[in-house]
Amino acid sequence: MSTDDGSMYTTVDEADRRLLEETEFDADLGAEMARDAQRVAADELSEVEFYRRYHDRLLAEFDVDDREVEIPDPDEVDADDVNAVDRVEEAFGGLGEALRNVGGEDAESRRSVMKKGAAAAALGLGGLGSAGATTGGEGDGAAGGAGGGAEGDGTRWGMTINLNNCDGCLACMVACNQEHNLSRGANWMYVFAFEDEGQGEETNFLPRTCQHCTDSPCTKVCPVGARHTREEDGLVLTDYDICIGCRYCEVSCPYGVNYFQWGEPDVPESEVDDDHQIDDRGRWVGSRPPEGVMGKCTFCVDRQDGQMGEEKVGTTACQEACAMDAIHFGDLNDPESDPNRHLREYRDGQENDRSDYPNRKGHTVSTFKLMEERGTEPNVRFVGNEPSPHAEQVEGPVAYEDVGLVDDRKEVLDRGAAANGGEEA
């Protein structure tokens, strides 16, 4: 779209336009609104006028009039009324929120909700009504104690892993390895079996994925920007086309979740579908990495992009495989997502006698994030007891070999080294 009034305003660029076009909404309307939103920001167009201009078309397009948003009739808005601006802002804020919630309970998938959220953002609504557009006041109450309930805009994929439910069957690891065609020993999902001080002989389990940290050291240190955070949903991914294999991300990650592709991958390129590898931005970030490049858990980016069908959006292979209801994956910004709901329900389900003990907190469930004090802001939250520094890894009930997995990758690699790299890893 061209600007007739010179180049003062940026036009909607190609990428945004494609995003707009992907949604089932009117791309021209979006582009026009985005430009005018900039004019509003530059104080050249009053918010009231902006609102008046798009009110009807918006109503027609998004069909939000039967939602719980009150949009005042533009003709009743008095341009001289100082409060009108506030009211309009409020209305737009509500609109943004409504857009995000459209279809939440309907049959529509989360993917299209996600896209609507993106469309709303592209329309510049978030900026206009920033106060109102923030979703999730209720989420905070639900997950507040664990830090990291619903906050911020858009999607933020994450997990709640309930250690009390995990029985160490390793089904998640098997599923992950198969789905992502991982080489032996590259356990993107890894289940620790450990004993801890003060817990007797009891064996505990800690399933560990990439924590998809919001403030991730790995993305900071990557010299070429191959390791990056995907803006639309917070996934931390590696661009296999750019990575030079310096392994700096691996040494900077506090959690040891990276697995470098030291040799030929076990599963050759010809057997991996493009759908699983290329994400919705056209970048090669999915499935196992090629030789000489870094890999790690992707939170099943192919699923989140709808490449495995709309019904798989918002799921992961490990979560699907877990029969014990230990792994819960979903949008942490959505109070009704699986990880948030599970935590809420689990807390509610635990006894907590507040009539005799009025000073008790709202719940008695212990939650933690791994090494939260490192400031990485992990997006995986655990229910259960955090392993102490004295925790020691022990043999679990199911041996890795029994389910076709390799625990110690070095063994595989050493054999490869001894055979002059003849073997794969």
Q: With binding defined as CB under 6 A, does residue 182 bind ligand SF4?
A: no
CB under 5 to 8 A by kind: which of another protein, ligand SF4, none does 238 bind?
ligand SF4
CB under 5 to 8 A by kind: which of ligand SF4, another protein, none does 185 bind?
another protein
List binders of another protein among 369-388 (CB under 8 A).
Answer: 370-371, 374, 387
List binders of ligand SF4 among 364-383 (CB under 6 A).
Answer: 376
On whether the CB atoms of residues 261 and 310 are closer than 8 A, the answer is no
Q: With binding defined as CB under 8 A, does residue 422 bind another protein?
A: yes
- What does 124-190 look like in DSSP terms, one character per residue? THHHHTHHHH---HHHHHHHGGGS-SS-SSS--EEEEEETTT-----HHHHHHHHHTTPPTT--SSE
Q: With binding defined as CB under 8 A, does residue 403 bind another protein?
A: no
Question: What minimum distance in Å lies between the beta carbon of 260 and ligand SF4?
Answer: 7
Question: What minimum distance in Å lies between the beta carbon of 250 and ligand SF4?
Answer: 6
Q: With binding defined as CB under 6 A, does residue 240 bind ligand SF4?
A: no
Q: Which stretch binds ligand SF4 (CB under 6 A): 96-104, 160-168, 221-229, 332-340?
A: 221-229
Question: Alpha-carbon Rg of the chain, whole angstroms?
Answer: 24
- Name the residue among 257, 326, 298 with its Cα closest to residue 249: 257
CA–CA gap between residue 336 and residue 330 (Å, rounded): 9
CA distances from 103 to 60, 62, 63, 107, 324 (A): 17, 12, 12, 7, 29
Contacts of 38 (CB under 8 A, 6+ apart): 9, 10, 124
On whether the CB atoms of residues 118 and 84 are closer than 8 A, the answer is no
Closer residue to ligand SF4 in complex, CB, 104/223: 223
Closer residue to ligand SF4 in complex, CB, 125/249: 249
On whether the CB atoms of residues 160 and 328 are closer than 8 A, the answer is yes
Site string for another protein, 171-190 (x = CB under 8 A): --------------xxx--x
HSE-CB at 162 with a 13 A cutoff on CA atoms is: 22
- Name the residue among 171, 180, 186 with its Cα closest to residue 402: 171
On whether the CB atoms of residues 364 and 351 are closer than 8 A, the answer is yes
Q: With binding defined as CB under 6 A, does residue 216 bind ligand SF4?
A: yes
CB under 5 to 8 A by kind: which of another protein, ligand SF4, none does 413 bind?
another protein
Query: In the numeric block, which tokens belong to residue 110?
Result: 């989360």
By the criterion CB under 8 A, which residues form the site for another protein? 185-187, 190, 192, 194, 206, 217, 220-226, 242-248, 250-264, 291-294, 370-371, 374, 387, 389, 391-394, 407-411, 413-414, 416-417, 420-423, 425
Interface contacts to ligand SF4, rule CB under 6 A: 210-213, 216-218, 222-224, 226-227, 236, 238, 243-249, 253, 255, 257-258, 294, 296, 376
